[in-house]
Amino acid sequence: MFSDFADWEMTPSTCRMSLLALLAASVHGQILRTTTNPPDIPEPQRSVTFCEESCKKEGFCCNAHLVGSNQLISCSQACFMRASGLAAPSCSKLCSQLASARSCIVTSPVDLLKGPDFPVFPANSFGLCGRCADLTDSPKCAHGVPGPEACLAGCELSPPTMHHQEVKLNETTSPVQDLVELLAALVKQSGSLTTSQKSMVSRLNTKLTGESLPAVEAAQQKDQALVNYHASVVAGCDTSMSQHFLALGSMARSIATLKTEHEQCETDRASFLAERHTASSEFTAWLDAEAAMTPSNAVPQDESEVEAWVAKALSFYKRFNATYTEFKVTERNAVVEAKIEVTNCTGELTG
C-alpha cells in the first residue's frame, strides 16, 4: 500500500505543513515543551549512532537520522526524538497522527540534539520526502520508509538521552487506543495489513491483555481495599456513637426522639455505602457479562477477518472505559456522602 509513495514529486505548497500545525488542528493537541535547553550536551553523536545501528538491525532503512521518505518518519528519526527527550507514548502518538496527515517537513516537539557533524536545518525539523541511500531488499525497506510501523519501532527503542527531561503531549485518549485506531484506519485504506503491521497488532494485544487490563484490575482491588477500610472506620464510629449514647441523659431531647434520628442516620449512611458496594458489584458483573465479547489474543490468519477483529477490540475497550468511568464517579460520590453522613450522625449524638 505504501509503494505508491516512492515516485511522488511534491510541490512546495504541499510540503510546508509542520507537525505543530497538525497537532493544533486536532482536539486538545497542544504541545508541552521544556522551557530551557540543557547546557553543553556531551557527545550527542552516540545517540545518533545508537539509533542508526539499532534501526538497521531491525531491518529498516533510511537510517540517516535527518532523512525520511514517503512523507513518513523513519525509525532512526523517531529514535532520535526519543534521545532528545520525547516520551515513548507521545512519540507513538506523533507516528499515528502523521500517518493520517502526510507532510514533507515535520517539526519536532522537542529541541533536537545538535553537534558539529550533524547540523539540523531548519531548526528542529526533519525532512520526510528524501531519497534513502541505504535501500535494501528487506520487507521493512520497501521504497524507503514503508509505513508508520518504522516510526513506531523507533519509539520503542531506548537510546541514551542527553540530560533532557522527557516531554509529553497533552492527550485525551490513551496511546493504546490511538494505535488501535491507526491500525483500523490502515485496514480500511488498504484492505489488509503487512506482516510487520500484523506483528505490531499482536504486540499491542499482548500489551493490552498482559499489562493494561491487569493494571486496571489491580486498581480496582486497591479501591475495594479502600472500601473495606472505610467500613472499618465506620464501625469505629459506631462504637464511638454508642459511648456517647450512654451520656445522653443530660440532654434536653428525649431518648425516643434521639433514637429515631440516629436510626435514620444509620439508614442513610448504610444506603450510601451500599451504593458504593453496588457500583463495584455492577462493574464486576459487567466484566463477567462481557467476557465472551473480549477480543481474542490471536490475530486472525485470514486477512479478511483482521478489520472486524480490530473493530471489535476497539469497541470493547471504548465500552470498558465508559463503564469504568461511570463506576468511579458513582463510587467517589458515595464515599463523600457517607463521610458527610457520619459527621452528621456524630453531631446529632453530641449536639
Classify each residue of 302-316 as buried b or exposed e, where b means 16 or more C-beta atoms within 10 Å of its C-beta. Answer: eeeebbebbeebbee
DSSP reduced 3-state for 127: strand
Question: What pLDDT, on a 0 to 100 scale, did the predictor assign at position 29?
Answer: 38
In terms of Cβ atoms closer than 10 Å to its own Cβ (0-12, 13-18, 19+), residue 70 is: buried
Question: What pLDDT, on a 0 to 100 scale, did the predictor assign at position 253?
Answer: 61
Phi/psi of residue 252, nearest 5 degrees: -75, -25
pTM: 0.40
Residues 6+ apart with CB under 8 A from 300: 306, 309
Question: What pLDDT, on a 0 to 100 scale, did the predictor assign at position 174?
Answer: 57
Question: What pLDDT, on a 0 to 100 scale, did the predictor assign at position 159?
Answer: 82
**How are the residues of the chain apportioned to helix, strand and coil, as percentages rounded to the nearest 5?**
60, 5, 35
Question: What pLDDT, on a 0 to 100 scale, did the predictor assign at position 162?
Answer: 53
| Tally of CA atoms within 13 A in the half-sphere of 178 that contains its CB | 21
**How far is CA 175 from each of CA 38, 93, 170, 321, rounded to the nearest angstrom?**
28, 6, 11, 14
Question: What pLDDT, on a 0 to 100 scale, did the predictor assign at position 17?
Answer: 36
Question: What pLDDT, on a 0 to 100 scale, did the predictor assign at position 65?
Answer: 74
For residues 114 and 80, give the distance between their C-alpha atoms in angstroms, rounded to a whole number: 11
Q: Name the strand (E) or helix (H) holding 125.
A: strand 125-127
Question: What pLDDT, on a 0 to 100 scale, did the predictor assign at position 176?
Answer: 58
Backbone conformation region of residue 120, classed left if phi is above 0, alpha if psi is from -120 to 50, else beta: beta
DSSP reduced 3-state for 58: coil
Residues of the chain with pLDDT under 70: 1-44, 113-124, 161-194, 196-197, 200, 245-255, 272, 276-277, 289-298, 341-342, 344-351
For residues 334 and 279, give the distance between their C-alpha atoms in angstroms, rounded to a whole number: 9
CB–CB of 31/23 below 8 Å? Answer: yes
Neighbouring CB atoms inside 10 A of 257's CB total: 11
**How far is CA 186 from each of CA 34, 137, 148, 200, 210, rounded to the nearest angstrom?**
33, 23, 10, 13, 25
Cell output for 208: 493490552
Q: What is the dihedral of CA 225, 229, 235, 241, to 10 degrees?
A: -150
